[in-house]
Amino acid sequence: MENKISAIIMAAGYGPGMKSSLPKAMHKISGQPMVEYVLKSVLDVVNSRPLVVLAGDAEDIKEHLGDKAEYNHLQERESIDQIVVLFREFLEGLDGHVILMEGNLPLITPDTLRDLVSSCQRGSYDAVVLSALCDNPQGYGRIIRDISGNFEGILEDVEASSEESLIKEIDTSVYCFKVSTLLEGIDRLADMDPENRYQISDFLYDLMGSGGKIGIHTVYDSTETMAVDNRIRLAEAQKIMGQRINNYHLERGVTIIDPDNAYIGPHVSIDRDVIIYPGNVVEGHTTIGRGTMLLPNNRILDSTIGRDTEIQNSVILKSRVEDRATVGPFAYLRPGSHIGEGVRIGDFVEIKNAKVGKGSKVSHLTYVGDGEIGENVNIGCGVVFVNYDGKKKHRTIVGDNAFIGCNTNLVAPVRVEDNSYIAAGSTITQDVPKDALAIARARQVNKEKWVIKRHKKETEENQ
């Protein structure tokens, strides 16, 4: 019979050290809330839906994680270590083993949790405490072992003597229990203390007193169990997670010129032979195609970038850029933009909810909003797709092989047909037929010797 494994993730704390109105577990590392990293590691190990414990006003965690977990709420902000007793109903529906852990341990890996459960199963333990060896154990409870090296207890940091404070093996607040054992312990302690004012360590001491068997599983990379409870540790965790993510891509054939200055999210997919220069921030569910070069200082979010593309000093949000395109410097692709194969999007160009066809060029100082540009089109400097009439947005359609002269205003809704030309400085309010030249500007008038006459008049007036 398969041994059931589940988990309780305690994500109800706000953490005074964070100095924030945001729940502690919702603070982000590499663009993703800490609790999402924890849940992902847990889901790789368990075979039933875990329980996430929330504070009464922490619905944002539930909304973010969705149906990957079950949820229960504390009506008040109880101590994290009291939560298990408040959710007997969840435990009674389980058998096998349950992992207990907090939601602010974003660096813990599935392998460590799997080894913890395996240790509990192989050793037939009633409970196993996950410990770590920490060079700076300040703030953590210390693991106390007996003369044989077996678990004897957990000593809180504030209670440790000067000698005991030198112990470097810490309690990580991650445990694996037999469900039946934990339920029995809850019942015994509830009878002794009806107000349920006790901590996880009390379960362990009670379990030892009743003849239970407690083991210790040590993880030797203490960074995995770093509890993020202030902004300093948040920054430290960000650095470690960033290194993990960057190393993952480096091992798979991506060149990151300065890994300490490239920020890549956990859901980003990057093909081999991509080169990433310093200052790039790549977030969300972004995909980067083979051979693409991200020159310095781009931000790319939830976008698809094709092969052999070059992007520099630009922002790309929820858009698609096809193969062999170039974007930037200083371009801004807003959501809904689709840049075709071989397209050139140049400096200070903004594209919004628009499609630019294969081989077209939008080179300088241009706004393309709510438009569709065909193939092999040239858009001159300073062109504006005038898409908003004060109440509604309208679309502009430009056909294949069209040429739009500099400083042209295309007032939507308007259509420019294939092979047509628009003279520079025009304001186009009507459709332009195929193969036509549109000129929509005042005729130039030169007044000979006007400046001389003006100066003469001013001189006479001043006499």
Query: What is the radius of gyration, based on Cα positions, of the chain?
Result: 32
Retrieve residue 348's tokens: 């200070």
User: Residue 293 — φ and ψ, nearest 5°?
Assistant: -120, 120
Asked if 100 contacts 84 with a C-beta cutoff of 8 angstroms, the reply is yes
Helix (H) or strand (E) holding 269: strand 269-270
In one-letter notation, the amino acid at residue 6 is S
Question: What is d(CA 280, CA 286) in angstroms, rounded to the nearest whole number?
Answer: 13
Helix (H) or strand (E) holding 201: helix 200-209
The residues pairing with 101 across neighbouring beta strands, listed in sequence order, are: 9
Task: Report the Cα–Cα distance between both ends of the chain, in Å, rounded.
Answer: 112
**Which residues are catalytically annotated?**
364
Residues 237, 242, 247, 252, Cα dihedral to 10°: 140
Retrieve residue 188's tokens: 């015994």
- CB neighbours of 123 closer than 8 A, spacing ≥ 6? 213, 215
| Location of structure tokens 């290194």 | 243
Asked if 420 contacts 402 with a C-beta cutoff of 8 angstroms, the reply is yes
Q: Is 426 helix (H, G, I), strand (E, B) or coil?
A: coil
Retrieve residue 415's tokens: 């259509």
Maximum distance among all Cα pairs of the chain, rounded to whole angstroms: 116
Cα dist from 389 to 228, 365, 385, 410, whole Å: 50, 21, 12, 12
Asked if 252 contacts 271 with a C-beta cutoff of 8 angstroms, the reply is no
